[in-house]
Chain A
Amino acid sequence: MKTFEEKWTAWLDGQLSGRELAEFEASLPDRAAAEAEKADVRKLGALLKREVGVSAFANEEFFSHQLRERIRESSVPSAKWEAKASTWWTIPRLLWTGTASLAVFLIFTVFVIRDKNPAEKSQYLTQILNARVDPVVSPNATVSMFEVKQDRVTVLWTEGLQSLPADYAAK
């Protein structure tokens, strides 16, 4: 057994027919007002149907737009990073890096050479450890040694060696 509200809703939707429709319309206290209300409801239904249809389409657009934005947002940073990574070693930067490396190498080289030089002035001069002259051949020979700081030459100076004729200067 349907209630009045159920029959009223069905009547508004045009779902009553036959005897049931006749009985319901006969039960209405103000038929004209009910027909007017039914007409309003149909207009409203048509309006809602139209509007709901449009809004549904708008929502679809909105969500797809949102989705596209999300995808773009998530893909843009990596694309930017890739672009950055692939373009960091540009020709000018390579040139600058090469120049800087060469400069660092030269600085290190200069430091190494500068570190060596002070030692060479003293410790790294040639040293004569000992010297012997054959006492039989040159019994009066003596040896001495000195260093010429200017050219860093070490000289072993002998005196009293046996003199030889000029023929010994032959090549």
Chain B
Amino acid sequence: MGRTLAFLISFVLLSIGATSALQGAETVWSGLVIAENVAQPQTIPPELTRIEGSLKKFFGYNQFQVIGQSQKTLKTGQEDWLATSKFFGLHVDAQGESPAGYVLNLKLYKEKELLLETDAKLSKRSPLVIKGPQIGSGQLLLVLVIQ
């Protein structure tokens, strides 16, 4: 009887622990990406592999290069961070967590000039892509993925 009880308690704790681990802190990858059409495209960065098809289909480019990125592990859902390149900065301000994901305020800066601002509810399984300004023959894209 005692052993059975101990076994049941262990099983329940193990289940709870595993469930908690599944729902633990998550990392948001934020990237500034330049999309271009080139003769010999480079391999797509690993962070974009899962959405490679959609990127190529909807933006019509064959090469995607990361010019700035940031990885932030969210613990409270209230963190903020910055992904920067030489001229651009993407400021991300997390404003809380919900079962659907994180509420984020995004601001794209060109140097100190605010180009675009948006509020989004970023789902844990649904990446966000923002089409930015045209740069030369390419396009600036902002990508946010929960890893």
CB pair A161–B133 under 8 Å, yes or no, is: yes
Asked if B114 CB lies within 8 Å of chain A CBs, one says: yes
Report whether B114 and A126 are in contact in the complex, using a CB–CB cutoff of 8 Å. Answer: no
B100 with A124: CB separation less than 8 A: yes
Q: Would you call B121 and A129 a contact (CB within 8 A)? A: yes
What residues on B are CB-neighbors of A152 within 8 Å? 123, 125-127
CB pair A158–B126 under 8 Å, yes or no, is no
Q: Known contacts A153-B54, A153-B127, A156-B128; is A89 also within 8 Å of B3 by CB?
A: yes
Taking the nearest CB of chain A, how far is it from the CB of B119, in angstroms? 4
Q: Which of A4-12, A24-32, A53-61, A133-141 contacts B (4 or more CB under 8 A)?
A: A133-141
Contact at B121–A130, with CB atoms within 8 Å?
Answer: no
The bracket for how many chain A residues form the interface is 35 or more
Q: How far is the CA of A27 from the CA of B121 in the complex (A)?
A: 136
Partner of B115, one of A97, A104, A123, A137: A137
**A67 contacts the other chain (CB 8 A):** no
A103 to B103, CA, bound (A): 36
**Per-position contact with A for B41-64: 1 when CB-CB < 8 Å, else 0?**
000000000110110011000000
Contact between A126 and B135, CB atoms less than 8 A apart? no
Chain A 105-117, CB-CB to B under 8 Å as 1, else 0, gives: 1001100100000
Q: Give the distance in Å from the alpha carbon of A29 to the alpha carbon of B124 in the complex.
A: 129
Residues 110-131 (chain B) with a chain A CB within 8 angstroms: 110, 113-131
Contacting pair B67 A171 (CB below 8 A): yes
Cβ of A120 and Cβ of B18 under 8 Å apart? Answer: no
Q: How far is the CA of A125 from the CA of B129 in the complex (A)?
A: 12
Our count of residue pairs bridging A and B at CB distance below 8 angstroms stands at: 153
| A112, B133: Cα distance in complex, Å | 41
Q: Which of A89, A104, A154, A166 contacts B137 (CB 8 A)?
A: A166
- In the complex, how many angstroms separate the beta carbon of A60 from the nearest chain B beta carbon? 44
Residues of B within 8 A of A166 (CB): 135-138
Q: Are A120 and B125 in contact (CB under 8 A)?
A: yes
Nearest A residue (CB) for B7: A97
Q: B interface vs A, CB < 8 Å?
A: 3, 7, 11, 14-15, 18-19, 34, 50-51, 53-54, 57-58, 67-68, 85-88, 100-101, 103, 110, 113-138, 140
Given contacts A128-B118, A163-B133, 19 further A-B contacts (CB under 8 A): A105-B11, A126-B120, A129-B119, A134-B113, A134-B114, A138-B115, A148-B54, A153-B128, A154-B127, A155-B131, A156-B120, A158-B133, A161-B115, A161-B132, A164-B136, A168-B88, A168-B136, A169-B140, A170-B86
12 A-B pairs within 8 Å (CB atoms) are namely: A104-B11, A137-B113, A148-B58, A151-B53, A153-B54, A155-B130, A155-B131, A156-B120, A156-B130, A165-B136, A167-B136, A168-B87
